[in-house]
Structure 1
Amino acid sequence: MQATEPTSKSNLKSSIWRQHCRGVLPLEARLEPWMTDLFDGQTLADLVAQHGSPLNLISPTSMRANLDEVTQVAEDRGVDFQAFFARKSNKCLAFVDEAIRCDAGLDTASENEIQQCLDRGVTPDRIICTAAVKQEALLRLCLNHSICIAIDNQDELDVIASLAQQTGLTAVLALRIGGFHHRGSKLPTRFGFDVDRDLELLDELVDLPVRVAGIHFHLDGYDASQRVTGLAEALGWIEHLRDQGHAPTFIDMGGGFPISYLDHEHQWNDFWREHESSLLGQRSPITYRNHPLGRQVLADSVTGKPNVYPYFQSPTRAAWLASILDTEINGCSVAKRINDAKVQLRCEPGRSLMDGCGMTVARVEYRKQNSDGDWLIGLSMNRTQCRTTTDDFLVDPIVLPIGEGESSPMTGYLVGAYCTESELLSLRQMEFPTGVRRGDLVVFPNTAGYLMHFLESRSHQFPLAKNLVVADGPEGTFELDRIDMPSLS
């Protein structure tokens, strides 16, 4: 949930929580009230002692406000709209239950994800399967329950048609398309049928035991103008399908709704300016061994795009969607074109629905200096437990000083449990103005969207992190998510 302007009282509390750890170039995280309520007292320490480190805490109720934001934008423009929560962004079943309560659909990427949704009462018409690789068992499950399958290639179509013929069932399909023409070039993608090369696919579909329910696409990144291009091309395919006798009812624009993790834009800009200076040798490093975060130094300049999420960006979520629907194509807004085509607009947000829904807590186990003299603070977790496919999570953690013993101010790096030189939990150099002690807790804020589970690994046979649901209300109760209790899931 996008944070509101903090009051002076919350500003004071925030400064207290942040005083024990900050980046050498600070990147202060947006914090939700349910998170900060847990920073005081002994509760988090008791929970980590009981359930282990790291521990994921989740609060599913923030999902509703996030969903309401984008739904309202569509409603204001009269667009028939349905969001499908991207299950891949977080494995906890509490979010499936919350999606049901919010009347959202479920975007699934595996047989287990689909079966868990069915077991929890999600109706098949509220499930779409977008798995990148679809084994026969997965396809049979979708066929048996009439779950819509976003098909990606000719081999998938052939297998689905064969299974449908064998069983006498009709497959429900969404055609995933890509390769859109945008501003004079073709948008690259490894997913979907090409909008130019594969148009003849529509002729083949006529004689197959399939029902084409809609058009699907997903674009990497957060460029709103590219989504406009995708929607325009998808509307063209809707017309082609109807000309062939099909009756598609929706366009699914995938996920990728932007959010912002940080409170201050100037901190984001300052960080990259100083990072460039450090790469050019104009100041001391602010990342471990001057890590370039995806950029390169060529001659006397820094080039390339950072390999990190844009942790501060604008517009986000609702305003971003509004900009897409309000864009005019040949004098007609995208919203009106969708309405005139009489199709439902669907989307599959993950990270943006998980905004404000989780945090990860880990215990400090040691402090030491490496051969370069850098202080390393070792946590009971590994980097796959707070990381996606990019180089780093560029958000300041919160340190809760509950450990015992003395400690002096220090500057150093958070490191994890895997036995590799690259096992850093954050590549950014951190300041600990009041020191850091064995037994202190480190909180990584806003990790529910992808960061908890997308790369999660139990190499070295470490146990996976437990996932604890924070209940609403004054009782302050906590219970393990059903995903951690297979017999009850």
Structure 2
Amino acid sequence: MSFATATENQLGEGTSKLRANCSGIVALSARLESWMTEALSNTPTEIVQSIEQFGSPLNVIATAPLVRNLRQLESVAAERDLPFKVFFARKSNKCLAFVDAAHQAGGGVDVASEQECRQALDRGVPGPDIICTAAIKTKALVELCVANQVTIAIDNRDELQRVREIAAASKATAEIAIRISGFVHDGEKLHSRFGFDVDEVQDLASSTLRSIDRKEVRVIGLHFHLDGYCSKQRVSAIRQCLPLVDHFRSVGLDVRFVDIGGGLPMSYLESEQQWNRFWREHRDALQSKRTELTYRNHGLGFLPVDGEVHGKRNTYPYWQNPVRAQWLQHVLDDSACAEQKADLEPNVPTIADALRDRSLQLRCEPGRSLLDGCGMTLARVEFVKQHHSGDHFVGVAMNRTQCRTGSDDYLVDPVVIRGQENDDQTQIEGYLVGAYCTESELISLRKLRFPNGIAAGDVIAIPNTAGYFMHFLESRSHQFPLAKNVLAENNSPLTWRLDEIDSEHAEK
């Protein structure tokens, strides 16, 4: 990726100008990568022409931040002399450029379907550099993995039996990792529907796994994935995996790695103060102490009852600290002994020490945090109208599945690029609405302020959507085409080309 460079001052000025056209009623200012600022600071005509060429919405991606993020994680492990490998969670974004970038940077790929696996293999990723963590593993997927030495994370006994049968029939050796769940943290069992319960794994190793034919199936790792982003929970899980590793090895199973899955945190916003203020003001709105911040006072997980607010936030924590590399540092530098504290007894081994002393490789499978800074979604404004409530509806050519995951909203301020000269610069407030024919079809539930007005032909840019927001829920309802995906190769002039996922040969 070869971008025209700009000074920090120029980028800062550009960022301020970009943010001037739109913010939430309570602002949540996005962290903008330099490539985003440069691209969006081009003449509006170029951006509008790109939308006309590729369609609205348009996903714009860049791979350089992925490599930077991967290197940050690797440096943490290298400083502790710990064998380590990052596997890009492909389910977080379907673009093939990210598979190429991860592979070329020395990373692996985590796949969740037969097609994801086949595409990674077709891009030249070696089978041993792929792990399959699919929730449902069909016969065809398992056959593909076994034939190509792709490691399979085993969730249950039926999967294990299927792998054994396919390996025996193909006279190949399947390499597997046992997925574990049900770890205890702070006296409570962590819930998950995936994996073998930690209390059952030792018996599994001593009986079923010990008796399997090593020419058919080799157990080479332990795997887990926890919901949320708590580093202390990861420490608890690793602590409980270490004696299991010792037991597996004692019964002749060659465990080489522990894989902690994904859930490495990232932060979308510039300001913790903005984040905290938004939730204070939102709570006030739910209690009728101020005007609403969301469409029809949507609670975003909270519910007002008799003057009190109940429930919990149903959105990603868009501001977090620590993130990525610092978070991993906290995990690796924690004590490996639950009963002792490293700060009180310096000789107590850390998690990194315990893994290294066992000659174990640490693996992780980040998606969202690896794609931090890697993409943005652009959409054309088609109309602006005023509702009888006084608010305005800004209709954009996209639907909410094209920037949404399972949570209630994307709590990051968009950027508005004026696509034409507009004599009316009147400030308005209102909501971004999308193309599905339902009352709930909002691109963002937050009320937005447009200080310089907004008009048909303008472009809405939603920053930092590469991780999950572009593709995880995208739908072709109403027979709308899926958004095209372009790789930003130059920003001045704009040089964007289709990612190969959109080529006619991508689906095989």
The answer to whether the superposition gives a TM-score over 0.5 is: yes
**Per-residue deviation at 1:232?**
1.1
Equivalent of residue 463 in structure 2, options 445, 461, 466: 445
- What amino acid sits opposite 2:236 in the alignment? T
Separation in 1, partners of 2:230, 2:465: 23
- Looking at structure 1, the residues matched to 476 and 388 of structure 2 have their Cα atoms a distance apart, in angstroms, of 28
- One of 464, 469, 476 as aligned partner of 2:487: 469
Deviation at 1:402, TM superposition (A): 1.3
State the AA in 1 paired with 2:442.
L
Deviations 1:174-197 (A, max 9, x none): 000000011111001111000113
Shift of residue 241, structure 1, vs aligned partner: 0.8
State the match for 2:23 in structure 1: 22
Task: Tell me the SS of whatever aligns to 1:452.
Answer: coil
Q: Is the 8 A contact 2:88 2:108 kept in 1?
A: yes
Please state how far the C-alpha of 1:404 moved relative to its aligned partner: 5.0
Aligned counterpart, 1:224: 231
1:487 has 2:505 as partner: yes
Deviation at 1:420, TM superposition (A): 0.8
Three-state SS of the structure 2 residue aligned to 1:471 is: strand
Residue 94 of structure 1: aligned partner: 97
Determine the C-alpha separation between the residues in 1 that align with 2:312 and 2:50: 40
How far the C-alpha of 1:488 sits from its partner, in A, is 6.1
Write the mapping of 1:53-452 to structure 2, written as runs, cut at 5 A: 53-202=56-205, 203-208=207-212, 209-330=216-337, 331-407=348-424, 408-452=426-470
Q: How many equivalent pairs are there? A: 484
Tell me whether 344-353 or 200-209 shows the greater mean CA deviation: 200-209
Using the TM superposition, give the Cα deviation of residue 235 of structure 1 relative to its aligned residue in structure 2, in angstroms: 1.5
Secondary structure in 2 matching 1:424: coil
Question: 1:287 and 1:390 mapped to 2: Cα distance?
Answer: 15
Offset of residue 475 of structure 1: 6.4
Q: Is the 8 A contact 2:419 2:459 kept in 1?
A: yes
Residues 193-220 of structure 1 deviation map (CA, whole Å, 9 limit, x = unaligned): 0011343211101222310010000000
CA contact (8 A) 2:11 2:37 kept: no
Q: Aligned letter for 1:399?
A: V
Deviations, residues 313-335 of structure 1 (Å, cap 9, x unaligned): 10000000000100113322101
Q: How far, CA to CA, are the matches of 2:191 and 2:293 in structure 1?
A: 34
Say yes or no: does 1:50 pair with 2:57: no
Q: Distance in 2 between matches of 1:342 and 1:14?
A: 47
One-letter code aligned to 2:397: S
Letter in 2 for 1:195: V
User: Would you say the 8 A contact 2:62–2:488 is kept in 1?
Assistant: yes
Q: Secondary structure at the match of 2:261?
A: coil
Aligned amino acid, residue 456 of structure 1 = E
Residue identity (%): 50
Change (3 A) 1:310 1:7: same
Name whichever of 349-358 and 8-17 sits farther off.
Answer: 8-17
Matched residue SS, 2:199: coil
**One-letter code of the match for 1:62?**
P
1:322-361 CA-to-partner distances (Å, cap 9, x unmatched) read 0010011332210100011111000001111101110000
Query: Is 1:259–1:352's contact at 8 Å kept on the other side of the alignment?
Result: yes
Q: What SS is found at the alignment partner of 1:399?
A: strand
Distance, in Å, in 2 between the alignment partners of 1:450 and 1:160 is 30
Give the corresponding residue for 2:342.
none
Q: Is the 8 A contact 2:39 2:492 kept in 1?
A: no
Q: Greater CA deviation, 237-246 or 266-275?
A: 237-246
Query: In 2, distance between residues paired with 1:173 and 1:488?
Result: 28
CA deviation string 1:406-428 (max 9, x = no partner): 43211000010001111100000
Runs of 4+ more than 6 Å apart: none
Taking the aligned partners of 1:62 and 1:423, their CA distance within structure 2 comes to: 32
How far off is 1:162 after superposition? 1.6
TM-score by length of structure 1 reads: 0.96
Corresponding residue for residue 3 of structure 1: none
Cα separation, 1, equivalents of 2:9 and 2:494:
26
Q: In structure 1, the residue corresponding to 2:211 is in which secondary structure?
A: coil
Contact kept in structure 2, 1:404 and 1:439, CA below 8 Å: no
Alpha-carbon contact 2:399-2:443 (below 8 Å) kept: yes
SS at match of 1:402: coil
Aligned to 1:169, the other structure's residue is in SS state: coil
Deviation at 1:299, TM superposition (A): 3.0
**Offset of residue 385 of structure 1:** 0.5
Residues 11 and 34 in structure 2, CA contact (< 8 A), matched pair in contact too:
no
Instruction: Quote the offset at 1:440 in angstroms.
Output: 0.3
Aligned to 2:343: none
Gaps of 5+ in 2: 1-6, 338-347
Query: Given residue 302 of structure 2, which amino acid in structure 1 is its aligned partner?
Result: R
CA deviation digits over 1:438-474, x for unaligned, max 9?
0000000011111100111111000000001011586
The offset of 1:63, in angstroms, is 0.8
Q: Distance in 2 between matches of 1:8 and 1:468?
A: 28
- Name the CA distance, whole Å, in 1 between partners of 2:471 and 2:371: 12
